[in-house]
């Protein structure tokens, strides 16, 4: 048990945070009760959702009659199961391979821990975590039974069981892949690839009416179980059996691989040369792998998000969208307002990338790599400035590619004027917001590295103002202080770009201050 407790102790914070996030999402069925004023409006929304291919692709099929509980399980249920699956990949790799790669498990193995004990402990923790998720989600949904139609004890328990089993299945697949992969990073990549395949299988099953495929995908458990509709408990049994078989196979494979290695050979060699002469060149080369992943992820999610708005836009044209989404759409052209909302979400995600990228510069300083760069004759401010420049360019690349793809695809699925140009402008127009985030993070990393955690504060506050400001009745002048929702409608009369220029200027000034600040302090290590 010591090994199990040690792993729990080491990773308790991420485990708790993931659980809290998923549970919080499960307490939202009542929002679907209040979103529609009349039964007629709800019926219209249900019909639109059932006939919208993009919504079916993302969320699956919405069952009749479309009660608040069913809409919750359909829409939030999709997010919850995807988030749970992402959590399962991250946590499973962390528990099984990260400790091997960073060397900490080697010390424990040297203290007499048997070879298979770490995997056994990881499997125990994953099983318990799966149970915790099931219970927590059931409880969170059940707590809303008086405020949302269709929420039943059996339905809530079935929904919780689906979430728990989704976690267990994806975790078991990832643990198995972690025995095959050469490194923790590769295990994570394989896990996410498997997750992508699971999503594709579920999407094909729902859009092409191939229900059998849903039985093969962990993300299809929600559809085959049907919480709040059929509550088919028997549909969970194949999943449970799969978890046992996958876990057992992982244990067998673990016994056949070397410590710190997988069954796949590791790619150890490369023959290329690095032709760089500046810190910007080095930062760009180092940022390349992460930028590629973020570009693919943001472009896929951003385009999908924009493309599935036809139902919402149609409803908004009749003035029927209320609640959170209604607050996002405002009073302008419904298509433009929806694309602005999608742009805001993309902007928040890209700003997250920006802050992570700037904070990576601080990690390089802490590990001594920045010191090695500086002693080649590089100016003290150059690594800080280079990280900001490369991050800004990276954000522009992500936004431009997302915007162009979205502009090419969205016009064919969303009715309205100038959909392509608007889609492009609302996405690329988020670059000034990303610049502002880069500026704040660079100032803190450069001048006040101990406070670098505060770099998230402006993003959190701006996201809160953009997503909840209208709903909570925050005065407009306060909302305008946020980084997002300043992109004008390019197809509208007299687009106003001054706020965007202010954001760019503020970001640039803060970057300069951060770079200057770095010259006035000691390097943290190196």
Partner 1 sequence: MTEPPIDVSGLVKRFGGYTAVGGLDLRVGPAEVHGFLGPNGAGKSTTIRVLLGLHHADAGRVRVLGRDPARQAAEVTRRISYVPGEVTLWPNLTGQEILDAFAGLRGSRDKAAEKRLAGAFALDTGRLVRTYSKGNRQKVALVAAFAARTDLLILDEPTSGLDPLMEEVFQGAVRDAAAAGRTVLLSSHILGEVEDLCDAVTIIKDGHLVESGQLSDMRHLAASVVTAHLPGRDAATVMARLRQTGLTGETTAGTVRLAVPRDLVPAVLAILADADAPDITCTPASLEDLFLRHYVVAPR
| 107 is a site residue for partner 1 (CB under 8 A) | no
Residue with token string 């760069």: 373
Hey, which residues between 370 and 399 contact partner 1 (CB under 8 A)? 371-380
- The token pair that represents 28 in the structure block: 């939202």
Among 286, 335, 359, 390, binds partner 1 (CB under 8 A): 286
From 123-131, 276-284, 389-397, 448-456, span contacting partner 1 (CB under 8 A): 276-284
From 195-203, 217-225, 236-244, 362-370, span contacting partner 1 (CB under 8 A): 362-370
Least gap, CB of 170 to partner 1 (angstroms): 26
Least gap, CB of 447 to partner 1 (angstroms): 14
| 183 is a site residue for partner 1 (CB under 8 A) | yes
From 206-214, 306-314, 392-400, 517-525, span contacting partner 1 (CB under 8 A): 517-525
Cα–Cα distance measured from residue 505 to residue 459, given in angstroms and rounded to the nearest whole number: 17
Question: Of 103 and 114, which has the nearer Cβ to partner 1?
Answer: 103
Least gap, CB of 444 to partner 1 (angstroms): 20
From 60-68, 279-287, 401-409, 427-435, span contacting partner 1 (CB under 8 A): 279-287
Is residue 322 a contact partner of residue 37, using CB atoms and an 8 Å limit? Answer: yes
DSSP annotation of 122 reads H
| 268 is a site residue for partner 1 (CB under 8 A) | yes
The CA angle 324-154-163, to the nearest 5 degrees, is: 60
Among 269, 450, 476, 477, binds partner 1 (CB under 8 A): 269
Among 276, 451, 457, 502, binds partner 1 (CB under 8 A): 276
DSSP reduced 3-state for 150: coil
Hey, which residues between 26 and 55 contact partner 1 (CB under 8 A)? none
Question: Of 135 and 261, which has the nearer Cβ to partner 1?
Answer: 261
- The token pair that represents 92 in the structure block: 């499973």
Least gap, CB of 130 to partner 1 (angstroms): 32
Among 2, 147, 193, 278, binds partner 1 (CB under 8 A): 278
Other CB atoms within 10 Å distance of the CB of residue 226: 18
| 271 is a site residue for partner 1 (CB under 8 A) | yes
Cα–Cα distance measured from residue 463 to residue 317, given in angstroms and rounded to the nearest whole number: 26
Cα–Cα distance measured from residue 500 to residue 517, given in angstroms and rounded to the nearest whole number: 25
Cα–Cα distance measured from residue 155 to residue 169, given in angstroms and rounded to the nearest whole number: 21
DSSP reduced 3-state for 46: helix
Site residue total, partner 1 (CB under 8 A): 37
| 281 is a site residue for partner 1 (CB under 8 A) | yes
Question: Of 326 and 366, which has the nearer Cβ to partner 1?
Answer: 366
Cα–Cα distance measured from residue 526 to residue 513, given in angstroms and rounded to the nearest whole number: 23
| 289 is a site residue for partner 1 (CB under 8 A) | yes
Least gap, CB of 450 to partner 1 (angstroms): 12
End-to-end CA distance of the chain: 39
Least gap, CB of 387 to partner 1 (angstroms): 14
Is-cis flag, bond preceding 65, omega within 30?
yes
Three-state DSSP string of 471-495: CCCCCHHHHCCCCCCCCCCCCCCCC
Q: Is 31 exposed, middle or buried (0-12, 13-18, 19+ CB in 10 A)?
A: buried
Among 9, 146, 209, 275, binds partner 1 (CB under 8 A): 275
Question: Of 34 and 278, which has the nearer Cβ to partner 1?
Answer: 278
Is residue 93 a contact partner of residue 187, using CB atoms and an 8 Å limit? Answer: yes
Least gap, CB of 214 to partner 1 (angstroms): 38
Q: If you write DSSP's letter for every residue of 369-402 in order, what string do you get? A: HHHHHHTTT--TTHHHHHHHHHHHHHHHHHHHHH
Question: Of 12 and 521, which has the nearer Cβ to partner 1?
Answer: 521
Is residue 262 a contact partner of residue 181, using CB atoms and an 8 Å limit? Answer: yes
Instruction: Summarize as ranges the residues that interact with partner 1 (CB under 8 A).
Output: 183, 266-279, 281-282, 285-286, 289, 367-369, 371-380, 521-523, 526
């Amino acid at each position: 048990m010591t090994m199990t407790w040690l792993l729990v102790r080491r990773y308790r914070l991420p485990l708790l945070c993931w659980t809290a996030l998923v549970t919080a999402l499960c307490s939202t069925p009542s929002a679907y009760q209040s979103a529609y004023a009349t039964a007629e409006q709800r019926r219209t929304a249900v019909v639109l959702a059932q006939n919208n291919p993009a919504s079916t692709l993302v969320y699956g099929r919405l069952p009749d009659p479309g009660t608040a509980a069913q809409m919750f399980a359909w829409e939030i249920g999709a997010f919850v199961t995807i988030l749970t699956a992402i959590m399962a990949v991250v946590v499973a790799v962390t528990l099984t391979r990260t400790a091997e790669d960073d060397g900490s498990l080697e010390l424990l193995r040297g203290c007499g821990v048997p070879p298979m004990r770490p995997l056994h402990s990881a499997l125990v923790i994953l099983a318990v975590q799966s149970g915790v998720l099931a219970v927590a989600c059931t409880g969170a949904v059940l707590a809303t039974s008086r405020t949302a139609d269709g929420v039943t004890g059996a339905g809530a328990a079935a929904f919780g069981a689906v979430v728990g089993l989704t976690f267990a299945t994806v975790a078991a697949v990832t643990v198995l892949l972690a025995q095959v992969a050469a490194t923790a990073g590769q295990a994570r990549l394989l896990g996410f690839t498997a997750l992508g395949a699971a999503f594709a299988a579920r999407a094909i099953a729902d859009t092409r009416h191939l229900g059998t495929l849903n039985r093969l995908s962990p993300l299809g458990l929600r559809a085959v179980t049907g919480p709040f509709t059929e509550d088919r408990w028997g549909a969970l049994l194949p999943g449970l059996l799969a978890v046992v078989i996958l876990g057992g196979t992982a244990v067998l494979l673990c016994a056949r691989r070397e410590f710190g290695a997988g069954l796949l050979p590791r790619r150890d060699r490369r023959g290329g040369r690095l032709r760089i002469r500046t810190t910007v060149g080095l930062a760009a080369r180092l940022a390349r792998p992460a930028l590629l992943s973020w570009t693919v992820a943001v472009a896929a999610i951003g385009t999908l998000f924009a493309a599935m708005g036809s139902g919402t836009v149609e409803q908004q044209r009749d003035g029927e969208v209320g609640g959170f989404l209604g607050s996002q759409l405002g009073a302008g052209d419904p298509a433009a307002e929806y694309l602005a909302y999608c742009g805001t979400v993309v902007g928040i995600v890209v700003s997250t990338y920006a802050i992570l990228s700037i904070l990576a510069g601080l990690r390089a300083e802490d590990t001594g790599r920045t010191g090695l760069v500086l002693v080649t004759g590089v100016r003290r401010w150059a690594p800080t400035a280079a990280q900001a420049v490369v991050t800004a360019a990276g954000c522009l690349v992500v936004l431009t590619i997302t915007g162009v793809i979205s502009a090419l695809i969205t016009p064919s699925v969303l009715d309205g004027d100038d959909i392509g140009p608007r889609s492009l402008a609302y996405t690329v127009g988020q670059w000034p917001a990303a610049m502002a985030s880069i500026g704040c993070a660079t100032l803190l990393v450069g001048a006040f590295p101990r406070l670098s955690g505060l770099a998230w504060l402006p993003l959190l506050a701006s996201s809160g103002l953009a997503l909840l400001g209208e709903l909570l009745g925050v005065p407009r002048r306060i909302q305008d202080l946020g980084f997002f929702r300043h992109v004008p409608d390019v197809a509208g009369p007299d687009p106003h770009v001054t706020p965007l220029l202010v954001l760019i200027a503020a970001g640039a000034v803060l970057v300069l201050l951060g770079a200057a600040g770095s010259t006035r302090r000691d390097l943290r290590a190196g």
